[in-house]
Structure 1
Amino acid sequence: MRTPALATLTTAALLTAGGAAPALAHDGTAEQRPIIATAHLRQLNHSGAHGVATVRVHGTKAEVTVVVSGLLRNAPHAMHFHAGMAGRCPTGRADTNKDGFVSVTEGHPFYGHIVTSLTTRGDTSPASGLAIDRFPTAPYGSVVYRRTVTISAHTAAAIAHHNAVLVVHGVDRNGSGAYDGRIKSDLDPSLPMEATAPAACGPLRP
C-alpha cells in the first residue's frame, strides 16, 4: 500500500514526463530533451521495503529522487543504479544456493553490475559501491534521497533503453534490529549478508 508521499511523488513524476514540446536553442535547433524515468521499488528478501524513484537525465547529469519505506531503522542503506544485463529485478527463485537470501551476486544476471553509487556526498562511481558511511540512513525506517549526480554516457543510454535498475540494499531478515547473522556478505565477508542483500528493486522506465 502506497503512502500519500509516495503517491504524490509518483503523480508528479508522471505529469513531469508528459509530452512537452522540445525546447529550442539560441540558434533555433532543438535541444536534447531530458530523459525522465521512474522506478516502482518492490521488496526483495522479504524486507517489506517499497517505494518509488524518479530520475531526470540531461546529458551526464541525473537529478535523482528516491522515497523508500519499510527499511531497517537507524541503519545505512546502500543504493545503486545497476545495468548491463536483463534490466529487471530477480525473484526469490534467484536464491540458487538456498541460503535464504537473494544475494547481490545471484541478482547480477537480472540487473547487472553497479554503474552509479547513490551516495549522499562525494564520489558516486562504482568504486563507492560499499562506502557505507556515505549512503543514506533510515532513522524512521524510511529514506528520502535527493541529489544531482554525474553519470556516464553509458549509464544515460542504459536508462534511455530500459536497461537500468535501481537497487536498495540492507535487510533485517531475523528481526534483530541490526545487520547481523551467521551468513556473510558475498561482497565483503567482514559484513553480514543482511548489510548488502537487496531490500528493494525497480527497473527504471522512461
Structure 2
Amino acid sequence: MQTKKLFLAAAPAAACIAALGAGAPAAHAADSWTYMANLQPVSLNTPSGAASGHFMISIDGDQATVTETVSGLADKLPTDKKTLNALGIPVAFAGMPFPHVQHIHIDGGGTCPAGSADTNGDGVISTVEGQPAYGKIGTTLSTKGATDASTATDVTKAPGGGSFTYKRTFTLNQATLSAIKNNTAVVVVHGLNPTNAPKASLTTPNSLGVTLPGASKKLALIGTAPALCGTLEKSQMSTMPSGGVQTGGGGTSGLQDQGMFYGAGGLLLAAGAVLTVRRRFAKQH
C-alpha cells in the first residue's frame, strides 16, 4: 500500500519533467533558422548566365554553418608577364587560382546593385558604387581564421578558382545576425573574369586603393569588383537544393599570397590594352 502511494505521488512530478523535456527542443528550434541566397551576375560586371551560385546559411543561436557552390567565375590568373603587369598583378601570382573574396554585407539597402549603380558611367560597378545597395562588410566568408572585416581582403583565406565549394561553421557576430533576421543581408562574391569583364575593369585601378606586394601599379578593378550577388531569405529547407550549381575543381583554398584586394584611382592603360589583355588571357585558358 505504501509503495502504491509513493508511485501515485511521483507520477505528477514525472509528468511535469517529461513535459519540460518535450518543450526544450521546441524552444531550441525557435532559435534555429536556415537562410538561402541565389547568387546571380551583378549587372554590367558579369554577363547574364555566365556565372551563378547557391548559398545557404544555417543558424543555431550564434553558430552559423555556411554551404555554398559557385561556378563560372574567373579561374586562374594569367602567366604572361605583360598581361600580369597590365592588370597590376605581380609575377609571383602567375598561374594561381583567381581569388574570390566574399562577404555577407549589411547596413545597406538589402539589395544587389542595378546598372544605375555605375555612377561614373564607365560601364562597370565598383565595390564602392555597389555599397549603397548591399552595404558594408558584416562577415568575411574566409576559409580559415577570423570572419570579421579584418580578413576582408586577405586572399590567402579566400576561395579560389572558377568553380568552388565552400563550407564552414563559425560564430556569427551580432550585427550580421541582426541583418540576416531583418532581411537586409546580402552575399557578394568579388573578382571579375577578364575574358568577359567590362573594358574599364581591365584598365582602371580598383576603387578602394591597394597595390599587390611586388606590383608596380594598383590592382585593376577586376580584382575587387562584385561579380555575383544574392539577398538572403529565410527558407524551410535544411539542405542545399539538388540540381543546383555545377561545381568543378577548386574548393576553399585561396591564393597563397597576401594583400590582394581594394584600391582607388583613375589611371588608364594605353589604347588597345584591353584587347591585348583579353587575347593573352584567353590564349592561356
Residue number in structure 1 paired with 2:172: 151
Q: CA deviation at 1:174?
A: 4.6
Distance 1:108 1:166, change over 3 A: same
Match of residue 9 from structure 1? none
* Structure 1 segments unaligned to the other structure (5+ residues): 1-23
Tell me the residue number matched to 1:127.
150
RMSD of aligned Cα (Å): 2.0
Partner of 1:93: 116
Q: What is the CA deviation profile of residues 112-168 of structure 1, one whole-angstrom value per residue up to 9, with x for unaligned ones?
A: 000100111111101111011110111xx2111000122112211211111100000
TM-score by length of 1: 0.80
Cα 1:188–1:26 change in 2 (3 A) is: farther
Summarize the Cα distance change of 1:25–1:204 in structure 2 as closer, same or farther, 3 Å threshold. farther
What is the alpha-carbon distance in structure 1 between the residues aligned to residue 193 and residue 34 of structure 2? 32
**In 2, Cα distance between equivalents of 1:41 and 1:158:** 18
- Answer yes or no: is 1:52 the counterpart of 2:54: yes
Structure 2 residue aligned with 1:42: 40
The whole-number CA distance in structure 2 between the counterparts of 1:58 and 1:76 is 29
Q: Percent identity?
A: 37
Match of 2:139 in 1: 116
Corresponding residue of 1:193: 221
Is the 8 Å Cα contact of residues 35 and 160 (structure 1) preserved in structure 2? no
- Label 1:64 to 1:129 Cα distance change in 2 as closer, same or farther (>3 A): same
Q: Which has the higher strand share?
A: 1
Q: Over residues 164-197 of structure 1, what are the superposed CA-to-partner deviations in whole Å (9 max), with x where a residue is unaligned?
A: 0000000024559xxx832111123422110010
- d(CA) in 1 for partners of 2:231, 2:123: 23
Query: What TM-score comes out, normalization by structure 2 length?
Result: 0.59
- SS of residue matched to 1:155: helix
Separation of aligned partners in 2, 1:25 and 1:100: 60
Q: Distance in 1 between matches of 2:153 and 2:210?
A: 12
| Unmatched runs of 5 consecutive residues or more in structure 2 | 1-18, 76-96, 212-218, 235-285
SS of 2:203's partner is coil
Structure with greater proportional helix content: 2
Change (3 A) 1:93 1:153: same
What CA distance in whole angstroms lies between the structure 1 residues aligned with 2:21 and 2:225?
A: 48
